[in-house]
Amino acid sequence: MLKIICFIVTAGIAFAAEYDYFSLAEDWKQMDGTWCASTEQTPIDIETDAEIVRYKQMPMEFAPTFSLPVVTGATGNNNGHNVNLEFQGSPGVIFRFPKGRSFTSLNGPYTGTGPLNPGRKMLSSSGFEPALLQGTLIDVHWHVPSEHAVRGRLYPAEAHFVHAISHKDDPDCTYMAGDQGPFCLGVIGVLYEVHHDDTETELDEGFTKVMEGFKNFPSDGQADTQPLPEPLDLASLLPESKEFWHYRGSLTTPGCNENVTWFVLQEPKAIGWSHFNSLRNSILHDDLGDLNARPPLPLNSRIVFKSNYDEDIHQVV
């Protein structure tokens, strides 16, 4: 199943001779055999086109958790469109979040607005239960600048942690048939904020190890694979807070396959200027345009869910 999933996640490889970012991905909509012109596409501008629905008064056992592992044998890869991490074996990841009748839709009862959430719907904790889903981490890759925007703002970079979630863990999962049954894709999106003073972030061990591998890529942009220093703690690539925005979307490269469940973390991850510059130089060295990010697309009829577990949200009636 891993080979099939990896082909889908890196679906742009199949279109490597056909797509670039010069047209801001507008010409992707004319590509045969893709979903790029469909209505549930990623990325989006969060809280600009959306009516955000918040979880209301969730107990702490509902708090989102992503238990990314420590891995060995990781490699950095440059495929000509982006740079990514791949792993020996299949690192297991646990997702914990409020689950309703469906992992992908998070159905549940809406309640009224509150004084701390004017004009916004709330999602009652009744009808939900804490959910633990087992995922398989299959790919981590980066985009410069970010693909998701927050209130119209793009960030300097964004990482995507791509996971396969099996049918046995979520009976509603019908995205694709694999060797072991249907699976869905769940993606954790991490926005990166750049600190021009490296002193606060120079000891970021995880990102330093990633950049150690990336700096050895050929300067002419040829495809290449480099080993990373080990062990690599993937959790160190995430911000401290795991609060998220959640919605249903797509892959962000052709074929733009939909029914991908997104968790975009609300807190940006701070990296130093030297790390960001190394990441940018690893990506922007080819003829695909001066970026590798698809611009935000309309939300259409979708709903974005926002997790909040701090005291002021608990006080909303």
In CATH, what number is assigned to the domain containing residue 120? 3.10.200.10
Q: Which residue has the higher pLDDT, 285 or 186?
A: 186
The sign of the torsion formed by the CA atoms of 210, 211, 216, 222 equals positive
pLDDT digits (tens, 9 = 90+) for 150-171: 999 999 999 999 888 765 655 5
Residue 316 banded pLDDT, cuts 50, 70, 90: very low
Mean pLDDT of the chain: 72
User: Structural domain tally of the chain?
Assistant: 1
* Average pLDDT rounded to a whole number, residues 49-63: 58
Would you call 63 exposed, middle or buried from its count of C-beta atoms within 10 A (0-12, 13-18, 19+)?
A: middle
pLDDT at 311 over 70: no
Say yes or no to pLDDT of 58 above 60. no
More confident residue, 52 or 6: 52
Tens digit of each residue's pLDDT (9 = 90 or more) over 94-122:
666 555 434 433 434 444 443 334 444 44
Residue-wise pLDDT tens digits, 180-237: 555 678 899 999 999 876 665 555 778 888 888 887 776 666 777 888 887 888 888 8
pLDDT tens string 241-274:
888 888 889 999 888 988 788 889 999 999 888 8
- Model pLDDT, residue 315: 31
CA distance 245 to 231: 30
Cα 2 from chain centroid (whole Å): 19
**81: pLDDT strictly greater than 80:** no
Structural domain of 13: 2-314
Nearest to 43 by CA among 175, 136, 158: 158
Lowest mean pLDDT among 58-67, 134-143, 174-183: 174-183
Per-residue confidence (pLDDT) for residue 96, from 0 to 100: 64
Using N-to-C axis directions, what is the helix angle for 205-214 and 273-283, rounded to 10°? 30
State mean pLDDT over 10-27: 59
Q: Name the residue among 94, 7, 107, 43 with its Cα closest to residue 291.
A: 43
pLDDT surpasses 50 at 17: no
Query: Is 77 a residue whose pLDDT tops 60?
Result: yes
Which region among 3-7, 74-78, 88-92 has the lowest average model confidence (pLDDT)? Answer: 3-7
- The DSSP line for 123-169 is E-STT-EEEEEEEEEEEEEEESS-SSEETTEEPSEEEEEEEEEETTT
Top-confidence residue, 46 or 305: 46
pLDDT on residue 236: 87
- In this predicted structure, what is the pLDDT of residue 8? 42
The token pair at 140 is 């981590």
In the predicted model, what is the mean pLDDT of residues 284-309?
A: 75
pTM of the predicted model, to two decimals?
0.80
Instruction: Say what the pLDDT of residue 12 is.
Output: 35
